[in-house]
Structure 1
């Protein structure tokens, strides 16, 4: 397949490229081809503009681009940067797909479980859930998804990845959690009751490859493991995986002082279930949090 990918140097993108390059022709959008060449596998073709791509010759587009959402406080300027980094590139891709005479067969575009907003801890949320909490993460993902869905047609299948917390030793949430845990100061946030819907990096990659192959899958897809856990359970499992205690609690007021509105991503959660992946036969490699963390060899 001829595949075009954005966000190739991100946590998911880099790992995905390592799998795709062995069997597919891969082109990545990047602001710095020279820097990307040091981060991506040999054989990945790098371009700096979507105009450099003939969308008539593509079989698939994978759109993972976007500024990190949990890096620091959300000023109005920061929120606009987060928003624009997702919407603008998606708009460019959609325009290119819609003007192609022979468009890609599948467009896989990013989103997040933040689409649902904060939800009660005991409420299982599948892809057809509608009662979303109106907050920044929901509005961001809603507009991002709606933009991507404009590429949907009889020729192009659109798949939206509502991704949970990706567990990887190469970055992401664990990169922020591990330092205090290694020092023995780790612990749950607040009550620790908020639900964390997670996915091991291996399952994140394999689920994307699975979606590429299965034409019957389309629309929104919860990219999370089948067994969400509370923040307290995640903290305890992480501490055990690195043989450290889990004695401390992070007070909510401290997070609010440090991160303002962004702290709400950590103080609230959603119990998200990957119904569509399970119903179509995807088998998770890591569906237990203990197993997932131990497999990372932290």
Structure 2
């Protein structure tokens, strides 16, 4: 029997690829979206500002994958932007919890995104799922922590709940990589800040395969780091990227104060050091297609013209 998967955030960087991979694997897919989609997928409407959701959405699904949330890497973090980043995650997850508390559905699994930002800036310390969240004065950590607490409401309803703490998702179609690669492509690439801060990354296809495995196998429950097993310093990342793009690194490091001037508080994304363990997903039996950075970048850029 073909299982039905409802995806929130299904038009985003992860959701759009995940939907295609689920279809290829024989699933039926529908999207829960602010704008009902006229594209290839069935879609249901929700309005987070009004707190409304099409009641047929949850009734449609056997499983829900919850990825909805405003991008943290687009636009400066004004107060309004920060409110939207938080509300878009909590509002959606709380709405789903409200619907799932009703009896008339057959949802057996709820997979919810979170982020490795929950750990805060940890220097070179290797962190795992047991590591305590950073204090609430760290905005990204607070967002991820509140988002996970919202998802735990669904676990309390007796529905198998899996939380994926997602690292830097590598794709040439959006997210952090095109922004990181732009100066390198122009021949002006340089490490950011000290260059010693760790980046925990995952190729987009590995992330989607991991989410599908979480969906399919009932032994997955609780919190997992969704990162490749080889985190790398920003300096090593920049050097590897320059090598793959056949570009020189000509500039010295971009100083942290310059990034803070340019990006404001959002510079946390590139300056915080997060060396995150993938041990738990490996022990659970997941196999990465791209465990190392260089082959991951080569696979992404081989499609692109020089």
TM-score where L is the length of structure 1? 0.93
2:299 corresponds to: 295
Correspondence list, 1:113-192, <5 A: 113-121=116-124, 123-130=125-132, 132-134=134-136, 135-153=138-156, 155-192=158-195
For residues 5 and 246 of structure 1, what CA distance do their matches in structure 2 show?
Answer: 40
Given that 1:115 and 1:139 are in contact with CA atoms closer than 8 Å, whether structure 2 keeps it comes out as yes
Structure 2 counterpart SS, 1:4: strand
* In structure 2, distance between residues paired with 1:24 and 1:264: 38
SS at match of 1:162: strand
Q: Does 1:92 align with 2:95?
A: yes
**Offset of 1:54 from its aligned partner?**
4.9
Moved more, 99-108 or 80-89: 99-108
Paired position in structure 1 for 2:43: 46
Given the alignment, which residue of 275, 279, 297 partners 1:275?
279
Q: Secondary structure at the match of 1:5?
A: strand
How many angstroms apart in 1 are the aligned matches of 2:173 and 2:223? 27
Contact 1:30 1:46 in 2 (8 A): yes
- Paired residues, what number? 291
Q: Distance in 1 between matches of 2:30 and 2:133?
A: 38
Q: Relative to 1, partners in 2 of residues 1:8 and 1:174: Cα closer, same or farther, differing over 3 Å?
A: same
2:177 & 2:214 partners in 1: Cα distance?
Answer: 26
1:196 alignment partner in structure 2: 199
Shift of 1:131: 5.5
In the alignment, structure 1 residue 11 sits paired with structure 2 residue 13: yes
1:214 Cα deviation after fit: 1.2
TM-score normalized with structure 2 length:
0.91
In the TM superposition, what is the alpha-carbon distance from 1:57 to its structure 2 partner?
Answer: 4.4
Q: How far off its partner does 1:51 sit? A: 2.2
Q: How far is the alpha carbon of 1:286 from its aligned partner?
A: 0.6
Mapped partners of 2:98, 2:35: distance in 1? 23
Per-residue deviation at 1:292? Answer: 0.8
Deviations 1:42-84 (A, max 9, x none): 3x10111232425344210011111111222211111101111
Whole-angstrom CA distance in 2 between matches of 1:262 and 1:129: 23
Does residue 75 of structure 2 align to residue 78 of structure 1? no
Structure 1 position 133, deviation (Å): 4.3
When the two chains are superposed, the root-mean-square deviation of aligned CA atoms in Å is 1.5
The secondary structure found in structure 2 opposite 1:261 is helix
Q: Determine if contact 1:109/1:148 at 8 Å carries over to the other structure.
A: yes
In structure 1, which of residues 176, 181, 205 is the aligned counterpart of residue 208 of structure 2?
205
C-alpha distance after superposition, 1:132-189 (max 9, x if no partner): 2441111111111100110114741111110000111111111112221111001110
Deviates more, 1:151-160 or 1:137-146: 151-160
* CA positional deviation for 1:32: 2.4
Query: What does residue 71 of structure 2 align with?
Result: 68
Query: Is the alpha carbon distance of 1:107 and 1:211 closer, same or farther for their aligned partners in structure 2, counting shifts above 3 Å?
Result: same
Aligned equivalents of 2:244, 2:133: Cα separation in 1: 36
- Counterpart CA distance in 2 for 1:215 and 1:246 is 47
Unaligned runs of 5+ in 1: none
The SS at the match of 2:101 is helix
